[in-house]
Chains A and B, each alone.
Chain A
Amino acid sequence: MSSGMSSRLAVNKTYKQFVGGAFERSESGRSYPVVGAGGELLAHAVRGSRKDVRDAVAAARSAQGGWAGRTAYNRGQILYRVAEVMESRRDEFCAEVLRAADGCSQAAAAAETAAAIDRWVWYAGWADKFPTVLGGANPVAGPYFNLSVPEPAGVVGMVAPDEPPLLPLVSRLAPVIVSGNSAVVLASERSPLVAVTLAETLALSDIPAGVVNIVTGRRDELVPPLAGHAAVDSLDLTGCDPEQAAAAARSAAATITRVVSASSAERQWADEAAQSPYLIDAFCETKTVWHPKAR
């Protein structure tokens, strides 16, 4: 026996979508090849369909109330847990980032992974603080108790950018779910694999099934059904090109869906400007409650 035959054969991962807490292939049965920075085949990712998007929105819708109903302390601990699990799988994330990104150095991949982990920690700490900072008592001119609180908008549809593959995804997702939103994320079309690995991390972190759903595939097929879905309350189109974003915003207007996109400052992903409690607020609704005061 040659030494080549006796060396251990690697067990390759099948990269599936993450919908309703389960890893699934597309109902369409389709896949597409994902190539690395050097043009080599990395894997066949799921090429999701319109139906997959609709299933993901349904899963997100049914999970949202329960997630928002968790205590802020609990949501904070769960986001922190995501950071813990990512930390324990740092090498894997580094390797994924390295394989996906063009001309990425080992050091850059390590830095991106570290920044992504730290971003979860940062937002975890906001869970029980952002309502204090963003809301509060309003001194109205009358004998009324009046309080404003930020509440999650509901289901957020998100289009992740291609580049870099991990940090932008985490930077946009964490502020969306920390307040109690659920999310349907369209992973980067070019580099979807690290998003699936992130999904595995989320599945191990006590994030309830359906709170984060990650669909992979072609943006031109998946953005329109996501943007036009009536059960999507808010859209983050950061990963869309201008034409896609315009078309998505047009169809979102039919159901008065708020459209958000990262500013140029927020796209400096490693900077502090990329993280903000006002980004949490961008995916919240302010609710104001009045009550008379009387003896």
Chain B
Amino acid sequence: MTDFSAPGRQVEPVGDFSLDYAPAPESTAPVRLGAQYGLFIGGEMLEAASGQLAPTVNPATGEALAEVSVADAADVDRAVVAARFAWEGGWRDLPGAQRAKYLYRVARLLQERSREFAVLETMDGGKPIRESRDLDVPLAAAHFFHYAGWADKLDYAFSGRRAAPLGVAAQVIPWNFPLLMAAWKLAPALACGNTAVLKPAPTTPLTALLLAEVLRDAELPPGVVNVVTGDDATGAALVAHPGVDKVAFTGSTEVGRMIGAELAGTDKRLTLELGGKAANIVFDDAALDQVTEGIVNGIYFNGGQVCCAGSRLLVQETVADAVVGRLQRRMDTLRVGDPLDKNTDIGAINSQAQLDRIAELVASGVAEGAELYTPPCVLPERGFFHPPALFTNVSTAHRIAREEIFGPVLSVLTFRTAEEAVAKANNTPYGLSAGVWTEKGSRILWMADQMQAGVVWANTFNRFDPASPFGGYRESGYGREGGRAGLLPYAELVA
């Protein structure tokens, strides 16, 4: 493990002012935690047949927040049966306008309870409250609102074809955007007339369970959405269940490979949103102050625990020193700590396991000869934290330039020509996202053409919207979420 306590550069005071902020903790009062949580099946919270419980931990403190059920194959079967019963029992035949109204209700209820959701998301997952409050929760509501409007307009989505529902969708989601990923999965599935069994990540089940409450308050018919919490075995049982017609998975490429192999030879549809190693490319004519903010947002947003994170900075040689200098100065001002503090920029790493993985890769970077910079910062004594990190002298062969780190770690590489930037950017099995920074319009469009990536952010980074398709090329998966393209994974086009 790398020792971050070594003295780094000191923050230079500006005049006589101290740059410290007073603590501004968000209140946890809106959140009412249960001691134990069951499974949401057929419209009710049921005790798991497995009888098994596992704690879900607040990564900022290391303390358990509650105990959550670990569904076994029998529980999964109950959920799939409930989903199928709901589908055949009426949801698939419900007029689109009715499905739309349910989804609009969900969007509104989410907005009404947004503060509660944001605080709970931050408590369970460790992301800064600023992000869960301003991005995760509002975007989740926006996704339900967007797809609500599609439910009764499917006949206009694919000219010449009718979009028919598939049946029961099994949806396995990750821990980095727990509520938002639930919304990305459920909203288009329900809009198209499918029912769903949602499996949240083991470390972040609580907002999905709170969402179940919202669904019940919205009077969504029982069984249309079921939530089964649990571990990898729960997910595997769900994906393999013969009553499932469609599988949607967001998570690691490794698990994506396993699911693809599991589904081979079946009629189940599959969409995957997997890992990434995005290049964020800076040309020498770019507006460097904006670039600095863009790079920071690209890699330190949600502590870099983002599949589309701009984890490889490709900077044109002539401005490399200027960009790295600006970055280091900006990193010195990033505030790492209590995710519930409204001033916090980088919260907790989601779990001890993830922190270990980040530390292992950082250590490999140092061992392979790259130069590590971390700003001087005091990490909280409890919980799982990692300071923002930046590597220079990185070669394309280094593990930190090839492997997804999923943490606040940036690798800086340089290039001379646009062609070289393209070659380096595409030199990865992944293809989820890319960033391009230049003031030259024609170059932006040429670069956008060259990028083997599903999302290209030009002079911006990490923007998301329900109307905008998201998803990857190559080993970053297949299928899109968002917009009209996001309907396709949940519909069969019938002549």
B56-64, B383-391, B470-478: which lies at the interface: B470-478
Please determine whether B444 and A291 come into contact, CB atoms closer than 8 angstroms.
Answer: yes
Please determine whether B465 and A140 come into contact, CB atoms closer than 8 angstroms.
Answer: yes
Interface residues on A, range: 35 or more
Q: Is B99 among interface residues, defined by CB-CB distance under 8 A? A: no
Q: Is B113 among interface residues, defined by CB-CB distance under 8 A? A: no
Selected contact of A246 from candidates B264, B465, B474, CB within 8 Å: B264
Please determine whether B468 and A249 come into contact, CB atoms closer than 8 angstroms.
Answer: no
Q: Is A9 among interface residues, defined by CB-CB distance under 8 A? A: no
Selected contact of B160 from candidates A242, A248, A276, CB within 8 Å: A276
Please determine whether B264 and A253 come into contact, CB atoms closer than 8 angstroms.
Answer: yes
Please determine whether A138 and B257 come into contact, CB atoms closer than 8 angstroms.
Answer: no
A15-23, A32-40, A281-289: which lies at the interface: A281-289
- Chain B residues contacting A249 (CB-CB under 8 Å) are 260-261, 263-265
Selected contact of A265 from candidates B459, B465, B488, B495, CB within 8 Å: B495
Docked complex Cα distance between A250 and B260 (Å): 7
Please determine whether A288 and B470 come into contact, CB atoms closer than 8 angstroms.
Answer: yes
Please determine whether A141 and B142 come into contact, CB atoms closer than 8 angstroms.
Answer: yes
Please determine whether A148 and B456 come into contact, CB atoms closer than 8 angstroms.
Answer: no
Please determine whether B459 and A288 come into contact, CB atoms closer than 8 angstroms.
Answer: no
Q: Is A106 among interface residues, defined by CB-CB distance under 8 A? A: no
How many of B's residues come within 8 Å of A, CB to CB? Answer: 50
Q: Which of A138, A233, A265, A272 has the most CB of B within 10 A?
A: A138
- Chain A residues contacting B263 (CB-CB under 8 Å) are 249, 253
Known: A141-B465, A142-B463, A286-B480. A250 touches B264 (CB 8 A): yes
Please determine whether B477 and A256 come into contact, CB atoms closer than 8 angstroms.
Answer: yes
Q: Mark B448-468, 1 if CB is under 8 A from A, else 0.
A: 100101111111100101011
Q: Is B159 among interface residues, defined by CB-CB distance under 8 A? A: yes
Q: Is A139 among interface residues, defined by CB-CB distance under 8 A? A: yes
Count A-B pairs with CB separation below 8 Å. 124
Please determine whether B460 and A290 come into contact, CB atoms closer than 8 angstroms.
Answer: yes
Docked complex Cα distance between A242 and B480 (Å): 27
Q: Mark B252-267, 1 if CB is under 8 A from A, else 0.
A: 0100111111011100
Please determine whether B485 and A258 come into contact, CB atoms closer than 8 angstroms.
Answer: no
In the complex, the chain B residue whose C-beta lies closest to that of A137 is B467
Q: How far is the CB of B435 from chain A (nearest CB, A)?
A: 10
Q: Is B222 among interface residues, defined by CB-CB distance under 8 A? A: no
- Chain B residues contacting A276 (CB-CB under 8 Å) are 160-161, 493, 495
Please determine whether B478 and A290 come into contact, CB atoms closer than 8 angstroms.
Answer: no
Q: Is A133 among interface residues, defined by CB-CB distance under 8 A? A: yes
Known: A148-B485, A272-B495. A245 touches B467 (CB 8 A): no
In the complex, the chain A residue whose C-beta lies closest to that of B256 is A256
Known: A138-B469, A141-B142. A289 touches B456 (CB 8 A): yes
Q: Which of A144, A242, A253 has the most CB of B within 10 A?
A: A253
In the complex, the chain A residue whose C-beta lies closest to that of B486 is A286
Please determine whether B475 and A256 come into contact, CB atoms closer than 8 angstroms.
Answer: yes
Docked complex Cα distance between A246 and B267 (Å): 10
Please determine whether B265 and A146 come into contact, CB atoms closer than 8 angstroms.
Answer: no
Please determine whether A286 and B485 come into contact, CB atoms closer than 8 angstroms.
Answer: yes
Selected contact of A138 from candidates B253, B429, B468, B471, CB within 8 Å: B468
Docked complex Cα distance between A49 and B273 (Å): 34
Selected contact of B265 from candidates A245, A278, A292, CB within 8 Å: A245
- Chain A residues contacting B1 (CB-CB under 8 Å) are none
In the complex, the chain A residue whose C-beta lies closest to that of B464 is A140
Q: How far is the CB of B361 from chain A (nearest CB, A)?
A: 22
Q: Mark A240-255, 1 if CB is under 8 A from B, else 0.
A: 0011011111101111
Q: How far is the CB of A66 from chain B (nearest CB, A)?
A: 14
Please determine whether A254 and B261 come into contact, CB atoms closer than 8 angstroms.
Answer: yes
Selected contact of B465 from candidates A138, A259, A263, A281, CB within 8 Å: A138
Q: Is A108 among interface residues, defined by CB-CB distance under 8 A? A: no
Q: How far is the CB of A154 from chain B (nearest CB, A)?
A: 8
Please determine whether B463 and A144 come into contact, CB atoms closer than 8 angstroms.
Answer: yes
- Chain B residues contacting A286 (CB-CB under 8 Å) are 454, 469, 471, 480, 485
Q: Is A95 among interface residues, defined by CB-CB distance under 8 A? A: no
Q: Is A111 among interface residues, defined by CB-CB distance under 8 A? A: no
Docked complex Cα distance between A271 and B199 (Å): 41
Q: Is B55 among interface residues, defined by CB-CB distance under 8 A? A: no
Docked complex Cα distance between A180 and B474 (Å): 16
Q: Which 7 residue pairs are nearest across A and B when measured between Cβ atoms?
A: A246-B265, A253-B260, A249-B264, A140-B465, A273-B495, A250-B264, A253-B261
19 example contacts (A-B, Cβ-Cβ < 8 A) are as follows A139-B467, A140-B463, A140-B465, A146-B467, A249-B261, A249-B263, A250-B261, A250-B264, A252-B260, A253-B258, A254-B260, A254-B261, A255-B475, A265-B495, A271-B495, A287-B456, A288-B455, A288-B456, A291-B444
Contacts A256-B475, A276-B495 known; list 13 others, CB within 8 Å. Answer: A138-B483, A246-B264, A247-B264, A249-B260, A249-B263, A253-B257, A253-B264, A254-B257, A256-B260, A256-B477, A287-B455, A287-B456, A292-B459
> Which B positions have Cβ atoms within 8 angstroms of A?
142, 158-161, 253, 256-261, 263-265, 272, 274, 429, 444, 448, 451, 453-460, 463, 465, 467-471, 473-478, 480, 483, 485, 488, 492-495
